[in-house]
A and B are shown apart, each in its own frame.
Chain A
């Protein structure tokens, strides 16, 4: 490769897009390192505290797209107190100071302020794409800045964020000259929407492919929007509360008929079931259907819809579909790759929930299935063993039995054998969540067979430290390990601290690790940030003379090249 000029090598590198591959390329030799470095366009930072923006800019001076993740995954379930961290402001400030031509920013579980959004909107002339997932801390004022100042904005994609809706006119802030929108997703906004501004925006955006509306956009407005945007590929529907408006239903149906590119449907937050019929013309083309917020759509309406969606690849649904409904999915959706079944009744005891039978039916009927998230009331080893036999191709397998410690409901045995069968059969398994009654045995299986496993979520499982040790010793590709309410302690934690250098992070809450153990860990591994999160005590643990034997409520550790972070709140103690 010494005979090729740098530009040629760089051109070849442009075809290599995966982060892993590009990281490998940069290790080959000094010259490749340098070329790769200057030509890296997309940077992915899985933990915003593992590196600083300055170091990042030093390593990759010319990137255009940045993905940042902040809080640990269990923050999704309220296990991380408010104020823990994950602030994007210092990143945007540093990027703004540098001369990097940022075009895309994707954030997950970070704290974003209106100030950050304003700074972002003013600092990067070519900024095109903003994707915020599970973020918080900003309001529609921040969105107004983005709309007003980003002249070439293509994507504004807000997924499941907590946004303070000031009911302002952010939609009207898009200038009349703004015609470049490709993605507009504001489904998570709670407040009123300026329908006139929205219609005008959609009408002047010929490139709009993905439109996801919030609750406040009613049926008749939706019909008008669809007339303006027949080229739409992804549609998120708002609410249609008024069941009697059949005229709007008909208008909508007529407009939808023209949307021949429509492939993905979602939303339906408050939907009158019979208006679903407006979507008849497009069902047979749908590849993605998300009805997981549509509590109103169930029974025969739901079954009817699914029977017509033969090309479905992705289905997100509520467990009100029942086992019978899943059997319909199994016999209809032969292209299905990803299924998520969410619980309707979060307190358990619902009699419309799905059982192991539904899972088995899906595994038998859908040969291409590789990702599943399944909430259910009960499970058996026999069912899991059958699922493993039917579907050895799982990449992601997440099973959540709603009642902690629940055994096989037929044999009363732990579910070790069932999950063991899954990990043994699915050689490509990258992500696994286990639940139900589980002993150390299941972790022996996981350590033995799940050689490609990268992320493992454990709750209310295991008997002794051996369980955690099996996993740490066996799963060489482990990146994220998160454990709650399981009896693993210092012995497992400290057995081999170097393992944590190959991982992104470890979370342990309500386990048996002690303060003394964590301190020893921090000593042995100075390249780790070992965080103790203790909301009740306000970081008085040391001052109050807490013994080393004191159990730690929440432990979060992660590798980092920049040492202790400076923005930790008082209830976070970094050892």
Chain B
């Protein structure tokens, strides 16, 4: 499989896979994938000849009132975004993005910057811009390390570091 690059992010490096490093095989049914789509696949039996509809597709199931469905967001969806040097903060709704590439592209557009290439080893290289976020425990983390779902439910706010702070981070890595 050719190197996948979406929005300058090196997806392959962040994929979790079974198998020895260096092998190219990718298991389709892997539920956990850092930068793949948000949608989960049911791991139920695919042996049946007619695949039962996934939970996502059954109308009116589970039997939860639409009022409750609309109000029951998995964690706060709107988060503050600050960019070093910008005069004011912005707010974005994490729910409108399904994966890291979408989010980073939106941030790039919002703040007019270009982000470097992500790698698990070296973080974001090349542009002196590093996206970070504050998680539920209050720690500042690098965007992109954990699976999207985990990130979107634990992200409290975002901070785009740049300039000297970011360079220090780059060289430290």
A interface residues (Cβ-Cβ under 8 A, vs B): 74, 76-79, 134, 160-162, 188, 269-270, 292-293, 295-296, 318, 342-349, 375, 400, 402-405, 433, 457, 459, 484
B62 A295 Cβ-Cβ under 8 A? no
Contact assessment for B52 and A342 in the assembled complex, using a CB-CB cutoff below 8 Å: no
Contact string against A for B residues 73-86, beta-carbon threshold 8 Å, 1 for contact and 0 otherwise: 11110000000000
What are 7 pairs between A and B in contact, CB < 8 Å? Answer: A76-B66, A134-B65, A160-B65, A161-B67, A375-B62, A402-B62, A404-B61
Residue of A nearest to B44 (CB): A403
Closest to A405 in B: B52
Q: How far is the CB of B60 from chain A (nearest CB, A)?
A: 4
* Given A349-B40, A405-B52, also A79-B59 (CB < 8 A): yes
Q: How far is the CA of A153 from the CA of B46 in the complex (A)?
A: 59
B173 at the interface (CB under 8 A from A): no
Contact of B56 among A74, A77, A347 (CB under 8 A): A347
Q: Does B64 contact A (CB under 8 A)?
A: yes
Which of B40, B56, B59 counts the most chain A CB atoms within 10 A? B59
CA distance A400 to B73 in the complex (A): 20
Most chain A beta carbons < 10 A, residue from B52, B59, B62, B76: B62
Q: Are B63 and A400 in contact (CB under 8 A)?
A: yes
Flag whether B20 is at the interface (Cβ < 8 A): no
B74 touches A345 (CB 8 A): yes
Q: How far is the CB of B5 from chain A (nearest CB, A)?
A: 29
New A-B contacts (11) at CB < 8 Å, excluding given A77-B65, A160-B65, A344-B72: A76-B63, A78-B60, A79-B60, A160-B68, A270-B76, A344-B74, A346-B55, A347-B55, A349-B31, A400-B62, A459-B61
In the complex, A345→B64 CA distance in Å?
11
CB distance from B50 to the nearest CB of A (A): 13
Q: Which residues of B contact A78 (CB under 8 A)?
A: 59-60, 66
A342 vs B64: C-alpha distance in the bound complex, in angstroms?
8
> Known contacts A295-B72, A342-B64; is A347 also within 8 Å of B59 by CB?
no
CB distance from B33 to the nearest CB of A (A): 14
**Of B55, B61, B65, which is in contact with the most chain A CB atoms at under 10 Å from its CB?**
B61
A342→B68 contact, CB < 8 A? yes
Residues A343 and B62 in contact, CB atoms below 8 Å apart: yes
Closest to B69 in A: A346
A443 to B60, CA, bound (A): 23
Using A347-B40, A349-B40 as known contacts, say yes or no to A77 and B61 having CB atoms under 8 A apart: yes
User: B18-42, CB under 8 A of A: which get 1 and which 0?
Assistant: 0000000000000100000000101
Which of chain B's residues have a CB closer than 8 A to the CB of A188? 67
Q: How far is the CA of A348 from the CA of B52 in the complex (A)?
A: 15
Residues of A within 8 A of B73 (CB): 295
Residues on A with C-beta less than 8 A from B75 are 295-296
CA distance A338 to B122 in the complex (A): 53
Contact B61 A160 (CB under 8 A): no
Closest Cβ of chain B: how far from A201's Cβ, in Å?
25
B51 at the interface (CB under 8 A from A): no
Closest-by-CB residue of A relative to B58 is A404
Q: Chain A residue with minimal CB distance to B60?
A: A77
How would you classify the secondary structure of chain A's contact residues: helix, strand, loop or mixed? Answer: loop
* CB <8 Å contact, B62 and A162: no
Q: Among the listed B44, B55, B58, B72, which residue makes an inter-chain contact with A342, where contact means beta carbons less than 8 Å apart? A: B72
Shortest Cβ-Cβ A-B pairs, 7 listed: A77-B60, A160-B67, A79-B60, A76-B65, A77-B63, A78-B60, A402-B62
CA distance A459 to B72 in the complex (A): 23
Question: Bound state CA distance, A420 and B153, in angstroms?
Answer: 39
A182 to chain B, nearest CB (A): 24
Query: How far in angstroms is the closest Cβ of chain A from B158?
Result: 16
Bound-state CA distance A459–B55 (Å) is 14
Q: How far is the CB of A462 from chain B (nearest CB, A)?
A: 16
Chain A residues near B40 (CB-CB < 8 A): 347, 349
Do A74 and B60 touch across chains, with their CB atoms under 8 A apart? yes
Residues of chain A within 8 A (CB-CB) of B59 are 77-79
B3 contacts the other chain (CB 8 A): no
The 8 Å CB contact of A269, one of B31, B55, B69, B71, is B71
Q: How far is the CB of A409 from chain B (nearest CB, A)?
A: 13
Min distance, Cβ A322 to any Cβ of chain B, angstroms: 15
C-alpha gap A404/B60 in the complex (Å): 12
Which residues from A are CB-within-8-Å of B76?
Answer: 270, 296
In the complex, A77 Cα to B60 Cα: how many Å?
A: 5
A504 to B105, CA, bound (A): 55
Which residues of chain A come closer than 8 Å to B64, judged between CB atoms?
77, 342-343, 346, 375
Query: Which residues of B sit under 8 angstroms from A292, Cβ to Cβ?
Result: 68
Nearest-CB residue, chain B, relative to A345: B74
Which chain A residues lie closer than 8 Å to B31 at the CB level?
Answer: 349
User: How far apart are the CA atoms of A348 and B43 in the complex, in Å?
Assistant: 11
User: B61 to chain A: which residues have CB within 8 Å?
Assistant: 77, 404, 459
Chain A residue with the shortest CB-CB distance to B43 = A349
- Please name the residue on chain A nearest to B31 by beta carbon: A349
State which of A160, A270, A459 has its C-beta within 8 Å of the C-beta of B63. A459
Q: Is the CB of B65 within 8 A of A402?
A: no
In the complex, what distance in Å separates the CA atom of A433 from the CA atom of B59? 18
Q: Complex Cα distance A74/B31, Å?
A: 32
**B40 CB to closest chain A CB, in angstroms?**
6
Q: Chain A residues with Cβ under 8 A from B66's Cβ?
A: 76-78
Residues of A within 8 A of B44 (CB): 403
Bound-state CA distance A74–B62 (Å) is: 11
Q: Cα distance A276–B73 when bound, in Å?
A: 20
B67 touches A134 (CB 8 A): yes
Residues in A with CB closer than 8 Å to B55 are: 346-348, 402-403
In whole angstroms, what is the CA distance A539 to B59 when docked?
21
Nearest-neighbour CB distance to chain A for B170, whole angstroms, equals 31
Question: Which single residue of chain B is at the shortest CB-CB distance from A243?
Answer: B156
A89 to chain B, nearest CB (A): 23
Docked pose: A293 CA to B76 CA in angstroms: 12
Q: Which residues in A have their C-beta under 8 angstroms from that of B67?
A: 134, 160-162, 188
With CB as the reference atom, state the residue of chain A lying closest to B40: A349
